[in-house]
Amino acid sequence: MKQKNLLKYFIVLLFSSIVFLGGCEKKTEDTEKPAGDTLSPDTTLTDTTKTDTTKVDTTITNLQGIWRGTLTERSTTFNIRDFSDNKIKGTISIQSRGVITKDVEGTFVPETRTVRLSDVTRSRDMGRYSGTISEDGTTLSGTFTTNADGRTSSFNFKKAK
């Protein structure tokens, strides 16, 4: 029995020694460096980062919705009900002694962000609207011109969220 225990200890000791000595072997890596991969003291470094010159797409894709602001210094709501194929249909509601609501139709030119509208509802103050949408698509500013006498007034609208 003593011999079996002694044999077990000998085997464990032998196995531990092999693992210990085998694991402590000094390893050397033969990594080859490509020629010219070292810097000398007088080497000039150049910036190899690239600047992204990709144009950000600022195309305005949807004008539809409620726009609030002023027309002839009166509180006004511009509701674009339909915006498709760069054609606009909507209503403009102006706060006066009462609310004056007019149907409008027109076009949007994406390249210049220009809006051209005309009153469809017949009235003595019918006219044309010419304006520009901001680059971020949140504001519309321009001029309203009456058909009857050519009077002009400015308008400014901001798209409601």
In a domain, 75, yes or no: yes
DSSP 8-state secondary structure symbol assigned to residue 43: P
Cα separations in angstroms, 102 against 41, 69, 93, 127, 159: 77, 16, 6, 10, 19
Question: What residues have CB less than 8 Å from 108, skipping those under 6 apart?
Answer: 60, 63, 83, 86, 87, 88, 114, 115, 133
Confidence label for 22 from pLDDT (cuts 50, 70 and 90)? low
pLDDT average, residue stretch 69-92: 95
Write the burial class of residue 122 (CB in 10 Å: 0-12 exposed, 13-18 middle, 19+ buried): exposed
Residue 73 has pLDDT above 70, yes or no: yes
In a domain, 46, yes or no: no
Angle at 114 between CA 112 and CA 120, to 5 degrees: 155
Residue 26 has pLDDT above 60, yes or no: no
Output the CA torsion sign for 11, 17, 18, 19.
Answer: positive
Question: Percent of the chain scored above 70 by pLDDT?
Answer: 65
Please report the pLDDT score of residue 43 as a whole number. 52
Please report the pLDDT score of residue 150 as a whole number. 95
pLDDT tens digit string along 97-121?
Answer: 899 999 999 999 999 999 999 999 8
In a domain, 4, yes or no: no
Question: What residues have CB less than 8 Å from 74, skipping those under 6 apart?
Answer: 94, 95, 96
In a domain, 24, yes or no: no
Residue 27 has pLDDT above 70, yes or no: no
Nearest to 157 by CA among 51, 43, 47, 79: 79
Question: Percent of the chain scored above 90 by pLDDT?
Answer: 55
pLDDT, the chain, mean: 81
Write the burial class of residue 15 (CB in 10 Å: 0-12 exposed, 13-18 middle, 19+ buried): exposed
Please report the pLDDT score of residue 60 as a whole number. 72
In a domain, 119, yes or no: yes
pLDDT tens digit string along 116-135?
Answer: 999 998 988 899 999 999 99
- Domain extent, residue 87, equals 65-159
CATH number at residue 85: 2.40.128.620
Collapse the DSSP code of 57 into the 3-class scheme (helix H, G, I; strand E, B; otherwise coil) and give the result. Answer: coil
Domain total in the chain: 1
Please report the pLDDT score of residue 54 as a whole number. 46
In a domain, 38, yes or no: no
Angle at 75 between CA 70 and CA 80, to 5 degrees: 70
Confidence label for 56 from pLDDT (cuts 50, 70 and 90)? very low
